[in-house]
């Protein structure tokens, strides 16, 4: 029996209204699948659209953001066709998110346990007395002793605060968890513990995870599939094994050359910026391939026509796609 994706993102395009009525297209034609119980990594430099992808799927974009086309199927239902009221049946309850930098946004004057309880009550899950029981269960799930529910955020270490955020995101037992840079601010030892915890919880609950990270070592360690994004588009997408062992897109190749030792975790200060040049500004996107100003393999066609995302030769059922003119030999011959 073929397993159906839990989440299918299709041709997602999101724009932001900037000052002076200028429009910036932050995502263009983004597609990928998330399988039940699996982990997919979203990777790419700062500003490539990782957070915008998650916020678009959760329908939590700020007022200046708008999804202009595409579909987001969750269990076969297109979330983009739902009213806000209908969407509430899915958001937090079936899909949940640990926001980027969230552990630093905990309320400093409220006990951790109370903050988790308020999250449960906010989603109308259960009466107040039952919610208290659930707080204890959630804390235990993330490895925090129940007795620590009465401590304040400043009495928790960074790793403990992130565990509390994970507990909060799991309050409604979702099937899918978006984790936006969940370990970036933590030191390497604690990063490893938090990732291990996510893996354990995934196994226990059968959770699917979309993991946003700058760290290719983390992707190699954690992910079944990977989406490499560049300038708001998908540059390469496939099983982590294929993308790592047979990278097709020059951008992915450069990323992997920059971090040859994938078993070694890096911190965010030494992130992907080691590739010469800077990512494109959304209000000044280059014509053709968005990577062309930085690509060591750029050809004439690259500055004129954007490459399509096309399937690469792979054995068996493994999926592997990349968007680069070099990979479409017929197109180059005819150009």
Ligand X SMILES: Nc1ncnc2c1ncn2[C@@H]1O[C@H](COP(=O)(O)OP(=O)(O)OP(=O)(O)O)[C@@H](O)[C@H]1O
Name the site residues for ligand SF4 (rule: CB under 6 A).
Answer: 249-250, 289, 291-292, 295, 297-299, 302, 307, 324-326
Provide the β-strand partners of residue 178.
97, 210
Taking the complex as a whole, the smallest distance from the CB of residue 300 to ligand SF4 amounts, in Å, to 9
Residues 32-51: x where in contact with ligand X by CB under 6 A, - otherwise, as a string:
------------x-xxxxxx
Cβ nearer to Mg ion, comparing 45 with 225: 45
Taking the complex as a whole, the smallest distance from the CB of residue 99 to Mg ion amounts, in Å, to 9
Q: Binding to ligand X by residue 52, rule CB under 6 A?
A: yes
CB 183 within 8 A of CB 271: no
Of 43, 160, 186, 282, which one interacts with ligand X (CB under 6 A)? 282
SS3 292: helix
Residue 128 to residue 255: CA distance in whole angstroms = 49
Taking the complex as a whole, the smallest distance from the CB of residue 49 to Mg ion amounts, in Å, to 8
SS3 175: coil
CB 182 within 8 A of CB 166: yes
Cβ nearer to Mg ion, comparing 193 with 268: 268
DSSP string for 14-83: EEEE-GGG-EEEEEEEEEEEE-TT-EEEEE-STTSSHHHHHHHHHT---TTEEEEEEEEEETTEEGGGS-
User: Which positions from 54 through 83 interact with ligand X, judged by CB under 6 A?
Assistant: 62, 64-65
Taking the complex as a whole, the smallest distance from the CB of residue 26 to ligand X amounts, in Å, to 3
Q: Binding to ligand X by residue 20, rule CB under 6 A?
A: no
Residue 33 to residue 195: CA distance in whole angstroms = 22
Q: Binding to ligand X by residue 268, rule CB under 6 A?
A: no
Cα-Cα-Cα-Cα torsion 214, 217, 223, 225, nearest 10 degrees, comes to: 70
Q: Binding to ligand X by residue 100, rule CB under 6 A?
A: yes
Taking the complex as a whole, the smallest distance from the CB of residue 176 to ligand SF4 amounts, in Å, to 31
CB 259 within 8 A of CB 267: no
**What stretch of H or E contains 238?**
strand 233-239
For the beta sheet containing 23-34, the strands, ordered from the edge strand earlier in sequence to the opposite edge, are 23-34, 7-17, 65-74, 77-78
Contact of residue 46 among ligand SF4, ligand X, Mg ion, none (CB under 5-8 Å per partner type): ligand X
DSSP string for 139-168: HHHTT--GGGGG--GGGS-HHHHHHHHHHH
Taking the complex as a whole, the smallest distance from the CB of residue 45 to ligand X amounts, in Å, to 7
Residue 179 to residue 202: CA distance in whole angstroms = 12
Contact of residue 52 among Mg ion, ligand SF4, ligand X, none (CB under 5-8 Å per partner type): ligand X
Question: What are the structure tokens assigned to 258, written together?
Answer: 């920059």
Q: Which residues bind Mg ion (CB under 5 A)?
A: 50-51, 100
Cβ nearer to Mg ion, comparing 50 with 149: 50
Contact of residue 48 among ligand X, Mg ion, ligand SF4, none (CB under 5-8 Å per partner type): ligand X
Cβ nearer to Mg ion, comparing 177 with 295: 177
Contact of residue 295 among ligand SF4, ligand X, Mg ion, none (CB under 5-8 Å per partner type): ligand SF4
Binding site for ligand X (CB under 6 A): 16, 18, 24, 26, 44, 46-52, 62, 64-65, 100, 282
């Amino acid at each position: 029996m073929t397993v159906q994706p839990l989440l299918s993102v299709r041709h997602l395009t999101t724009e932001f209204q900037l000052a002076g009525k200028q429009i910036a297209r932050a995502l263009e034609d983004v597609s990928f699948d998330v399988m039940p119980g699996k982990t997919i990594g979203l990777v790419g430099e700062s500003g490539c659209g990782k957070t915008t992808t998650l916020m678009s799927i959760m329908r939590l974009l700020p007022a200046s953001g708008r999804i202009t086309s595409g579909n987001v199927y969750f269990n076969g239902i297109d979330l983009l066709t739902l009213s806000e009221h209908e969407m509430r049946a899915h958001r937090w309850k079936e899909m949940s998110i640990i926001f980027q930098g969230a552990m630093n946004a905990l309320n400093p004057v409220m006990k951790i346990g109370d903050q988790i309880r308020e999250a449960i009550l906010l989603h109308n899950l259960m009466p107040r007395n039952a919610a208290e029981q659930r707080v204890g269960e959630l804390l235990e799930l993330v490895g925090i002793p129940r007795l620590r529910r009465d401590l304040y955020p400043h009495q928790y270490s960074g790793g403990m605060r992130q565990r509390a955020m994970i507990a909060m995101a799991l309050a409604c037992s979702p099937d899918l968890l978006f984790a936006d840079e969940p370990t970036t601010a933590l030191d390497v030892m604690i990063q490893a513990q938090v990732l291990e915890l996510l893996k354990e919880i995934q196994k226990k609950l059968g959770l699917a995870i979309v993991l946003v990270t700058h760290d290719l070592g983390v992707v190699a360690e954690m992910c079944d599939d990977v989406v490499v994004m560049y300038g708001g588009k998908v540059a390469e997408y496939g099983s982590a094994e294929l993308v790592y062992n047979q990278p097709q897109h020059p951008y992915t190749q450069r990323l992997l050359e920059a971090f040859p030792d994938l078993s070694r975790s890096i911190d965010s200060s030494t992130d992907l910026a080691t590739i010469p040049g800077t990512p494109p500004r959304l209000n000044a996107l280059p014509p053709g391939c968005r990577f062309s100003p930085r690509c060591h393999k750029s050809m004439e066609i690259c500055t004129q026509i954007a490459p399509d995302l096309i399937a690469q030769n792979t054995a068996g059922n493994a999926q592997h796609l990349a968007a680069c003119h070099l990979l479409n030999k017929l197109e180059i011959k005819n150009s």
